[in-house]
Chain A
């Protein structure tokens, strides 16, 4: 039996090697994803391009502008002279915020101890807008405290108050790449294996070569195993690729046990290979297989908490995310890599991954066998 499997593996490898371009893409894709996610996907919003309309032109108004600039949230490079001009600049998209200081601001602050300014925020990107919104308030609040202190003769240090010492665990600099790499590890495992497995089997069917394989003494489980082994190997190679680049290039710390990560990844592959085989029993053409793979992959990516926090989703989607296997793998990867936790903490996730694997793989193999007979 094992020699028959080896022949199928050998045959599949020949297929893969004959198409060096696809092979190249397979190996380069994770690197590219890593670079893109590592560098482009940054949610830390600072230096928001801001335009200022200072109708007051007093030392007080300059003080406030200076405070906004010093907060590093806002990059104040441009001054305009009219509200229309400010509107046009923000409409065009070059600026995402606008500070409007009405004339009389300095006077009000001096005489009435209070004054107000307008802060225009481009709300089209909510992530940027929320940061700008909060920062606009915080800076003014800090300025107000300082002013209040001055009036009662206290400096910022002696002012009464509660001080918060924030400690950020696992990822102290809150670097996006540290967060992305565990997610990417989980995603690559699912994406490549599901898509390749389904394509490899459907291609045989589309080209009619599956009949030739069926008349040989190969049994369905042998055929499946033989066909998926090369892709499992590629998936693990990709995983190693990501971890190595992540650690040596991006400086992502791996705090937990790599062996444990590999072991649970293998368990997770049962689910993803099962999905690929399942898709191959449904799809008749490669195009269909590709669409079905994307169809399963999309909700997986969005609901796994890889890109967006599950807590922020509506209740129904949170429930849906409970049946997404990638969610558990994502939690395992980030638990091991970032938090350095072990099996004791992750046991719930591991059992869930095993259950998914057993069910999906079991159903897939049964359906596959039925289709062959």
Chain B
């Protein structure tokens, strides 16, 4: 049995090597994803281009604008003289926020100790807008504190009040790369290998070569094993690639056990291979396989907590997410890499993944055998 499996593996490797361009894309893809997710996938907005309409032109108004600039959230790039101009700058996207200091601001502040301003935010990108929204409030609040200190000669910053000492665990600098790169490892284990498995079998079907394999003494289990083996190897290679670049280039710390990560990575690959196998029994052509897997992977990626926290999604979607193996894998990979968690903490997730592996592989193999 072992020899026959090896023969199939050799045949599959010849197929792969004959198409060096696809092979190099397979190896290059994780690097591109790494660069994009490591550098581009961040919602950490600072230096938002901001326009100022200062109708007051007083000492106080300049002080406030300066406070906004000093907060680092806002980059005062434009000074305008009319509201229309401010609107135009935000309309065509040059400015994302606008500070409107009405005339009389300085006078009100001197007389009543109270004054108000208007703050315009471009809400079309909510991630940016929410940050700008709270920063606008925080800066004004800090300004108010300064005012109180001045008026009543008390030092609110030092003596009175509640000091908060935030400690950020696992990822103290809150770097996006530290969050995205473990996620990418999980995604590569899940998406690429599923796609490759489904395609390699669908291709034999489309080209009619699967019949030739059936008339050989090969058993279906040997056929499956032999075919998927090279893709398991490629996936593991990709995993090492991402891990190496992540650690050496992006400085992602690995707090946990790498061997445990690899072992659970293999478990995750079993799930992917099962899904790929299942997909190949449904699809007749490569195109169909591509779309079927793509169709499956969409909810996988969006409902697994890969980009956005699951807690923020509606209840129904949270329930669905329990059916998505990537969800458990993400907790495992992030847990091992970022939190240094081990099996005592992750056993529930590992168990869930194991159940998926058995179910998917069993279902995929039995359907595949029937079709043959």
Whether the pair A287, B19 counts as a contact (CB closer than 8 A) is yes
A170 contact set on B, CB distance < 8 A: 122-124
B339 at the A interface (CB under 8 A)? yes
In the assembled complex, how far is the CB of residue A175 from the closest CB belonging to chain B, in whole angstroms?
7
- Asked whether B39 lies within 8 Å of A313 as measured between CB atoms, the reply is yes
Contacts of A110-135 to chain B: CB distance below 8 A: 112-131, 133-135
Known: A127-B309, A165-B118, A166-B121. Contact between A174 and B129, CB under 8 A? yes
Partner of A165, one of B91, B119, B169: B119
Residue in contact with B169 in the complex, picked from A120, A164, A199, CB distance below 8 Å = A120
B331 nearest in chain A by CB position: A93
Which one of B137, B161, B176, B285 lies within 8 Å of A138 (CB-CB)?
A: B137
Chain A: which residue is nearest B138 at the CB level? Answer: A138
Inter-subunit contact A37/B302 (CB<8 Å): yes
B91 and A309 form a contact (CB under 8 A): no
Query: Are the C-beta atoms of A129 and B174 separated by less than 8 Å?
Result: yes
* Cβ contact of B168, chosen from A43, A48, A114, A123, cutoff 8 A: A123
Interface size class on chain A is 35 or more
Convert B57-95 into 0s and 1s, putting 1 for each residue whose CB lies closer than 8 angstroms to a CB of A: 000000010000000000000000000000010111100
B348 to chain A, nearest CB (A): 9
Q: Name A32's contact: one of B126, B298, B345 (CB within 8 Å).
A: B298
Q: Which residue of the partner chain B has the closest CB to A36?
A: B302
Are B29 and A25 in contact (CB-based, < 8 A)? no
Residues A116 and B312 in contact, CB atoms below 8 Å apart: no
Checking B32, B122, B172, B287 against A286 with a beta-carbon cut-off of 8 angstroms, the contacting residue is B287
On chain A, the residues within 8 Å of B372 by CB distance are none
What is the chain B residue whose CB lies nearest that of A41? B308
Cβ contact within 8 Å between B314 and A25: no
B313 at the interface (CB under 8 A from A): yes
Q: A19-B288, A160-B114, A312-B46 are in contact. Are A174 and B130 (CB under 8 A)?
A: yes
B164 close to A (CB within 8 Å) = yes
A140–B179 Cα gap in the complex (Å)?
28
Contact A162 B115 (CB under 8 A): yes
CA distance A345 to B92 in the complex (A): 6
User: A43–B127 contact, CB under 8 A?
Assistant: yes
**Residue B369 CB within 8 A of the other chain:** no
Establish whether residues B311 and A48, one from each chain, have CB atoms under 8 Å apart when the complex forms.
yes
On whether the beta carbons of B158 and A171 are closer than 8 Å, the reply is: no
Q: Which residue of B lies closest to A306 (CB)?
A: B125
- Complex CA gap A199/B356 in Å reads 32
**A contact face: mostly helix, strand, loop, or mixed:** helix
Cβ contact of B32, chosen from A125, A164, A295, cutoff 8 A: A295
Cα distance, A33 to B37, chains bound together (Å): 20
With A307-B41, A312-B44 already in contact, 8 other A-B pairs whose C-beta atoms are closer than 8 Å: A41-B307, A42-B313, A143-B162, A163-B115, A287-B22, A295-B32, A305-B125, A331-B93
A114–B161 touching, CB < 8 Å: yes
Interface assignment of B299: CB less than 8 Å from any CB of chain A: yes
CA distance A142 to B47 in the complex (A): 25
Report chain B residues within 8 Å CB of A309.
Answer: 43, 45, 125, 127-128
Asked if A302 and B313 sit within 8 Å, CB to CB, the answer is no
B350 within 8 A of A: no
Q: Are B307 and A307 in contact (CB under 8 A)?
A: yes
Task: Please tell me if the beta carbons of A179 and B174 are within 8 angstroms of each other in the complex.
Answer: no
A116 contacts B160, C-beta separation under 8 Å = no
A to B CB contacts below 8 Å, 20 in the list = A21-B288, A36-B302, A96-B309, A114-B159, A127-B43, A129-B171, A131-B130, A134-B134, A137-B164, A162-B114, A162-B117, A163-B115, A166-B136, A172-B123, A288-B22, A299-B36, A302-B36, A307-B307, A311-B128, A312-B43
A47 close to B (CB within 8 Å) = yes
Smallest CB separation, A2 vs chain B (Å): 28
Among B4-12, B223-231, B260-268, B289-297, the stretch that binds chain A is B289-297
Stretch at the interface among B139-147, B236-244, B270-278, B359-367: B139-147
**Residue from the list B109, B123, B154, B164 in contact with A162, Cβ < 8 A:** B109
Query: Can you list, as one digit per residue, whether each of A158-192 has a CB less than 8 Å from chain B (1) or not (0)?
Result: 01111111111111111110110010000000000
Given A28-B295, A122-B169, A163-B140: A169 touches B123 (CB 8 Å cut-off):
yes
Contacts of B161 in A (CB 8 A): 113-114, 140-141, 143-145, 147-148
Whole-angstrom CA separation of A39 from B308 in the bound complex? 11
- Chain B residues, CB < 8 A from A88: 345
Beta-carbon nearest neighbor of B304 in chain A: A40
Q: A118 CA to B163 CA in the complex, in Å?
A: 9
Q: Are A169 and B299 touching (Cβ within 8 A)?
A: no
A307–B37 CA distance with the chains assembled, in angstroms: 11
Interface centre among A283, A286, A303 (most CB of B within 10 A): A286
Which residues of A are interface residues toward B (Cβ below 8 A)? Answer: 19, 21-22, 25-26, 28-29, 32-33, 36-37, 39-49, 64, 88, 90-93, 96, 109, 112-131, 133-138, 140-145, 147-148, 151-152, 159-176, 178-179, 182, 199, 203, 283-288, 290-292, 294-295, 298-299, 302-303, 305, 307-309, 311-314, 317, 331, 334-335, 338-339, 341, 345-346
A22, A133, A143: the one within 8 Å of B291 (CB):
A22
- Pick from A115, A121, A126, A335: contact of B179, CB below 8 A: A126
Contacts A134-B138, A136-B166, A308-B40; A291 near B174 (Cβ below 8 A): no
Q: Does B371 contact A (CB under 8 A)?
A: no
CA distance A121 to B172 in the complex (A): 9
Cβ-based interface call for B113 (8 A): yes
Whole-angstrom distance from the CB of A188 to the nearest CB of chain B? 12
Check A25–B312 contact: CB distance below 8 A. no
The answer to whether the Cβ of B178 comes within 8 Å of any Cβ in the partner chain is yes
Q: Which residues of B contact A203 (CB under 8 A)?
A: 287
A51–chain B nearest beta-carbon distance, Å: 13
8 closest residue pairs by CB, A with B: A144-B161, A161-B144, A123-B171, A171-B123, A160-B113, A116-B163, A163-B116, A168-B123
Quote the shortest CB–CB distance from B67 to chain A (angstroms): 9
Do residues B295 and A121 form an inter-chain contact, with CB atoms below 8 A? no
For residue B26, CB closer than 8 A to chain A, the reply is: yes
Least distance between A149 CB and chain B CB atoms (Å): 8
In contact, A117 and B199 (Cβ under 8 angstroms):
no
Contact between B307 and A166, CB atoms less than 8 A apart: no
Of all chain B residues, which has the CB nearest A316? B39
Q: Are A163 and B114 in contact (CB under 8 A)?
A: yes
Q: Is B170 interfacial (CB-CB < 8 Å)?
A: yes
**Is the pair A171, B147 in contact by a Cβ cutoff of 8 Å?**
no
Report if A341-B91 is in contact (Cβ < 8 Å); known contacts: A123-B170, A142-B141, A311-B45. Answer: yes
B49 at the interface (CB under 8 A from A): yes
Residue contact A312 to B45, C-beta cutoff 8 Å = yes
